[in-house]
Protein backbone atom coordinates (compact mmCIF):
# COMPACT_ATOMS: atom_id res chain seq x y z
CA UNK A 1 0.00 0.00 0.00
CA UNK A 2 1.15 3.56 -0.65
CA UNK A 3 2.47 5.55 2.30
CA UNK A 4 2.15 9.13 3.49
CA UNK A 5 4.90 10.69 5.62
CA UNK A 6 5.30 14.16 7.08
CA UNK A 7 8.56 16.07 7.29
CA UNK A 8 7.87 18.75 9.91
CA UNK A 9 10.74 21.02 8.85
CA UNK A 10 12.91 21.20 5.71
CA UNK A 11 15.95 20.67 7.94
CA UNK A 12 14.85 17.02 8.28
CA UNK A 13 14.41 16.56 4.52
CA UNK A 14 17.63 14.54 4.03
CA UNK A 15 16.02 11.83 6.18
CA UNK A 16 12.98 11.56 3.92
CA UNK A 17 14.16 12.46 0.43
CA UNK A 18 13.69 10.02 -2.42
CA UNK A 19 12.88 10.64 -6.04
CA UNK A 20 9.92 8.24 -6.24
CA UNK A 21 7.55 10.18 -4.00
CA UNK A 22 5.21 13.08 -4.60
CA UNK A 23 6.07 15.97 -2.31
CA UNK A 24 3.37 18.36 -1.09
CA UNK A 25 4.98 21.61 0.08
CA UNK A 26 2.95 23.64 2.55
CA UNK A 27 3.50 27.07 4.04
CA UNK A 28 0.03 28.01 5.28
CA UNK A 29 1.28 31.45 6.46
CA UNK A 30 1.56 32.54 3.79
CA UNK A 31 3.61 31.46 0.76
CA UNK A 32 1.72 28.41 -0.49
CA UNK A 33 -1.62 30.09 0.31
CA UNK A 34 -0.57 33.10 -1.79
CA UNK A 35 0.64 30.84 -4.61
CA UNK A 36 -2.65 28.92 -4.56
CA UNK A 37 -4.69 32.14 -4.52
CA UNK A 38 -2.65 33.60 -7.38
CA UNK A 39 -2.73 30.53 -9.59
CA UNK A 40 -6.49 30.10 -9.01
CA UNK A 41 -6.98 33.76 -9.91
CA UNK A 42 -5.28 33.52 -13.28
CA UNK A 43 -1.54 34.09 -12.80
CA UNK A 44 0.05 32.02 -15.60
CA UNK A 45 3.27 30.96 -13.82
CA UNK A 46 5.13 31.57 -10.60
CA UNK A 47 8.91 31.10 -10.53
CA UNK A 48 9.77 30.24 -6.90
CA UNK A 49 13.33 31.13 -5.95
CA UNK A 50 15.17 30.72 -2.67
CA UNK A 51 16.97 34.06 -2.47
CA UNK A 52 16.21 37.75 -2.87
CA UNK A 53 19.22 38.03 -5.20
CA UNK A 54 17.78 35.45 -7.61
CA UNK A 55 14.45 37.26 -7.57
CA UNK A 56 16.13 40.61 -8.31
CA UNK A 57 17.93 38.99 -11.27
CA UNK A 58 14.60 37.74 -12.61
CA UNK A 59 13.09 41.19 -12.07
CA UNK A 60 15.94 42.65 -14.13
CA UNK A 61 15.05 40.11 -16.84
CA UNK A 62 11.51 41.52 -16.94
CA UNK A 63 9.50 39.43 -14.50
CA UNK A 64 7.24 40.87 -11.80
CA UNK A 65 9.06 40.41 -8.48
CA UNK A 66 7.18 39.25 -5.39
CA UNK A 67 7.90 38.12 -1.88
CA UNK A 68 8.91 39.03 1.63
CA UNK A 69 11.57 39.06 4.26
CA UNK A 70 10.47 39.42 7.88
CA UNK A 71 6.91 39.33 6.55
CA UNK A 72 7.33 42.64 4.69
CA UNK A 73 7.52 43.18 0.94
CA UNK A 74 11.12 43.30 -0.25
CA UNK A 75 12.04 46.87 -1.18
CA UNK A 76 11.67 47.45 -4.91
CA UNK A 77 9.36 44.46 -5.46
CA UNK A 78 5.85 44.81 -6.89
CA UNK A 79 4.06 42.33 -4.61
CA UNK A 80 4.53 41.21 -1.02
CA UNK A 81 3.27 37.93 0.38
CA UNK A 82 -0.39 38.62 1.11
CA UNK A 83 -2.73 36.24 -0.74
CA UNK A 84 -4.84 39.29 -1.59
CA UNK A 85 -1.88 40.79 -3.54
CA UNK A 86 -1.98 37.76 -5.83
CA UNK A 87 -5.71 37.88 -6.57
CA UNK A 88 -5.45 40.98 -8.72
CA UNK A 89 -7.09 41.10 -12.15
CA UNK A 90 -4.00 42.87 -13.50
CA UNK A 91 -1.88 39.76 -12.83
CA UNK A 92 -3.96 37.49 -15.08
CA UNK A 93 -1.73 35.73 -17.59
CA UNK A 94 1.46 37.13 -16.01
CA UNK A 95 4.56 35.31 -14.77
CA UNK A 96 5.75 36.24 -11.28
CA UNK A 97 9.15 35.61 -9.69
CA UNK A 98 8.69 34.96 -5.97
CA UNK A 99 10.92 34.53 -2.94
CA UNK A 100 9.83 34.02 0.68
CA UNK A 101 11.70 33.16 3.86
CA UNK A 102 10.52 29.58 4.22
CA UNK A 103 7.95 28.67 1.55
CA UNK A 104 9.87 29.10 -1.68
CA UNK A 105 12.98 27.76 0.08
CA UNK A 106 11.07 24.56 0.97
CA UNK A 107 10.02 24.22 -2.69
CA UNK A 108 13.61 24.63 -3.77
CA UNK A 109 14.85 22.07 -1.21
CA UNK A 110 12.25 19.55 -2.43
CA UNK A 111 13.80 19.48 -5.91
CA UNK A 112 14.30 15.96 -7.22
CA UNK A 113 10.90 14.65 -6.07
CA UNK A 114 8.73 12.74 -8.56
CA UNK A 115 6.38 15.72 -8.48
CA UNK A 116 6.04 18.80 -6.26
CA UNK A 117 2.49 19.88 -5.42
CA UNK A 118 1.61 23.17 -3.71
CA UNK A 119 -0.75 22.64 -0.76
CA UNK A 120 -2.70 24.97 1.51
CA UNK A 121 -6.02 24.95 3.32
CA UNK A 122 -7.36 26.96 0.37
CA UNK A 123 -7.03 23.91 -1.92
CA UNK A 124 -7.00 21.06 0.63
CA UNK A 125 -9.63 18.82 -1.00
CA UNK A 126 -8.34 19.40 -4.53
CA UNK A 127 -4.86 18.30 -3.45
CA UNK A 128 -6.22 15.31 -1.51
CA UNK A 129 -8.40 14.19 -4.43
CA UNK A 130 -5.47 14.50 -6.84
CA UNK A 131 -3.14 12.54 -4.56
CA UNK A 132 -5.76 9.81 -4.12
CA UNK A 133 -5.59 9.10 -7.86
CA UNK A 134 -1.79 8.84 -8.03
CA UNK A 135 0.32 5.74 -7.44
CA UNK A 136 3.37 7.12 -5.61
CA UNK A 137 4.12 7.52 -1.90
CA UNK A 138 3.52 11.00 -0.51
CA UNK A 139 5.72 13.25 1.58
CA UNK A 140 4.28 16.43 3.08
CA UNK A 141 7.06 18.97 3.53
CA UNK A 142 6.18 21.62 6.11
CA UNK A 143 8.04 24.88 5.42
CA UNK A 144 8.22 25.59 9.15
CA UNK A 145 10.01 28.68 10.39
CA UNK A 146 13.74 29.03 9.72
CA UNK A 147 14.28 25.31 10.16
CA UNK A 148 11.97 24.95 13.15
CA UNK A 149 8.64 23.17 13.59
CA UNK A 150 5.49 25.26 13.29
CA UNK A 151 1.86 24.63 14.18
CA UNK A 152 0.07 25.81 11.06
CA UNK A 153 1.90 23.66 8.50
CA UNK A 154 1.59 20.65 10.79
CA UNK A 155 -2.16 21.36 11.06
CA UNK A 156 -2.42 21.23 7.27
CA UNK A 157 -0.35 18.03 7.12
CA UNK A 158 -2.78 16.46 9.61
CA UNK A 159 -5.79 17.61 7.59
CA UNK A 160 -4.32 15.96 4.49
CA UNK A 161 -3.55 12.76 6.40
CA UNK A 162 -7.15 12.70 7.64
CA UNK A 163 -8.49 13.05 4.08
CA UNK A 164 -6.26 10.25 2.77
CA UNK A 165 -6.29 7.75 5.63
CA UNK A 166 -7.92 4.48 4.64
CA UNK A 167 -6.62 4.93 1.08
CA UNK A 168 -2.96 5.40 2.04
CA UNK A 169 -0.91 3.89 4.88
CA UNK A 170 0.01 6.35 7.63
CA UNK A 171 3.42 4.90 8.26
CA UNK A 172 5.19 7.71 10.07
CA UNK A 173 4.98 9.01 13.65
CA UNK A 174 5.12 12.63 12.45
CA UNK A 175 2.05 11.96 10.26
CA UNK A 176 0.19 10.44 13.23
CA UNK A 177 1.16 13.44 15.39
CA UNK A 178 0.07 15.87 12.67
CA UNK A 179 -3.30 14.14 12.55
CA UNK A 180 -3.72 14.64 16.31
CA UNK A 181 -2.73 18.30 16.00
CA UNK A 182 -5.33 18.80 13.27
CA UNK A 183 -8.03 16.97 15.20
CA UNK A 184 -7.38 19.26 18.18
CA UNK A 185 -7.41 22.34 15.93
CA UNK A 186 -10.27 21.70 13.53
CA UNK A 187 -13.10 22.88 15.81
CA UNK A 188 -11.72 26.40 15.49
CA UNK A 189 -8.64 26.72 13.29
CA UNK A 190 -8.23 30.44 14.02
CA UNK A 191 -8.34 29.96 17.80
CA UNK A 192 -5.66 27.28 17.48
CA UNK A 193 -3.63 29.47 15.16
CA UNK A 194 -3.56 32.22 17.77
CA UNK A 195 -1.27 29.95 19.79
CA UNK A 196 1.33 29.87 17.02
CA UNK A 197 4.54 31.90 16.95
CA UNK A 198 3.92 33.05 13.39
CA UNK A 199 0.51 34.43 14.35
CA UNK A 200 2.28 36.61 16.92
CA UNK A 201 4.88 37.68 14.35
CA UNK A 202 2.27 38.58 11.73
CA UNK A 203 -0.09 40.28 14.22
CA UNK A 204 2.40 43.14 14.49
CA UNK A 205 2.23 43.59 10.71
CA UNK A 206 -1.53 44.00 10.86
CA UNK A 207 -2.33 41.12 8.51
CA UNK A 208 -4.94 39.26 10.56
CA UNK A 209 -7.22 39.24 7.48
CA UNK A 210 -4.51 37.30 5.62
CA UNK A 211 -4.40 34.71 8.39
CA UNK A 212 -8.19 34.28 8.43
CA UNK A 213 -8.21 33.92 4.64
CA UNK A 214 -5.37 31.38 4.67
CA UNK A 215 -7.55 29.21 6.93
CA UNK A 216 -10.51 29.17 4.49
CA UNK A 217 -10.75 25.49 3.71
CA UNK A 218 -11.40 24.64 0.04
CA UNK A 219 -11.81 28.22 -1.11
CA UNK A 220 -10.31 27.18 -4.47
CA UNK A 221 -10.43 24.06 -6.61
CA UNK A 222 -6.96 23.84 -8.11
CA UNK A 223 -3.69 21.91 -7.91
CA UNK A 224 -0.57 24.00 -8.56
CA UNK A 225 2.52 21.92 -9.36
CA UNK A 226 6.16 22.62 -10.14
CA UNK A 227 6.87 22.03 -13.83
CA UNK A 228 10.35 21.38 -15.25
CA UNK A 229 11.82 21.92 -11.78
CA UNK A 230 11.42 25.68 -11.98
CA UNK A 231 7.94 27.07 -12.58
CA UNK A 232 4.62 26.65 -10.83
CA UNK A 233 1.66 26.04 -13.13
CA UNK A 234 -1.84 24.67 -12.66
CA UNK A 235 -2.12 20.92 -13.14
CA UNK A 236 -4.57 20.02 -15.87
CA UNK A 237 -6.95 17.53 -14.28
Among residues 5, 9, 36, 102, which is the contact residue for ligand 3SL, using CB under 6 A?
102
Whole-angstrom distance, CA of residue 104 vs CA of residue 66 = 11
217 DSSP 8-state letter: T
Residue 135 CB coordination number (10 Å):
7
- Fill in the per-residue mask, 173 to 202: x = in contact with ligand 3SL (CB under 6 A), - = not in contact: -----------------------------x
Minimum distance, C-beta of residue 214 to ligand 3SL, in the bound complex (Å): 9
107 binds ligand 3SL (CB under 6 A): no
Question: CB under 8 Å to 44, separation ≥6 — which residues?
Answer: 93, 94, 95, 233
Site for ligand 3SL in 199-228 (CB under 6 A): 202
137 binds ligand 3SL (CB under 6 A): no
C-alpha radius of gyration, the chain, whole number:
16
Residue 16 CB coordination number (10 Å):
17
Element (H, E) at 179: helix 173-185
Q: Which stretch binds ligand 3SL (CB under 6 A): 28-36, 52-60, 156-164, 167-175?
A: 28-36
Q: Which stretch binds ligand 3SL (CB under 6 A): 25-33, 183-191, 215-223, 229-237?
A: 25-33
Minimum distance, C-beta of residue 145 to ligand 3SL, in the bound complex (Å): 7
Alpha helical stretches, state H, 65-136: 103-109, 124-132
- Fill in the per-residue mask, 29 to 68: x = in contact with ligand 3SL (CB under 6 A), - = not in contact: xxx------------------------------------x
Minimum distance, C-beta of residue 223 to ligand 3SL, in the bound complex (Å): 20
Whole-angstrom distance, CA of residue 125 vs CA of residue 122 = 9
Closest CA to 103 of 232, 237, 16, 236: 232
Strands (DSSP E) found in 49-156: 64-69, 72-73, 95-99, 115-119, 138-142
71 binds ligand 3SL (CB under 6 A): yes
Tell me, by CB under 6 A, how many residues bind ligand 3SL. Answer: 13
Minimum distance, C-beta of residue 188 to ligand 3SL, in the bound complex (Å): 21
What is the contact surface with ligand 3SL in residues (CB under 6 A)? 27, 29-31, 68, 71, 81, 100-103, 143, 202
Amino acid sequence: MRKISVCVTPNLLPLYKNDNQIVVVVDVLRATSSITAGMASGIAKILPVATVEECIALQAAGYIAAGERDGKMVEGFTLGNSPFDYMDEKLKGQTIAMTTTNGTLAIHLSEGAKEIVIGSFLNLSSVANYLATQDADILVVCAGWKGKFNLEDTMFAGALVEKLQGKIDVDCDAAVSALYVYQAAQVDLMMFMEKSSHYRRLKHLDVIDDIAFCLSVDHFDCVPVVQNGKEIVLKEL
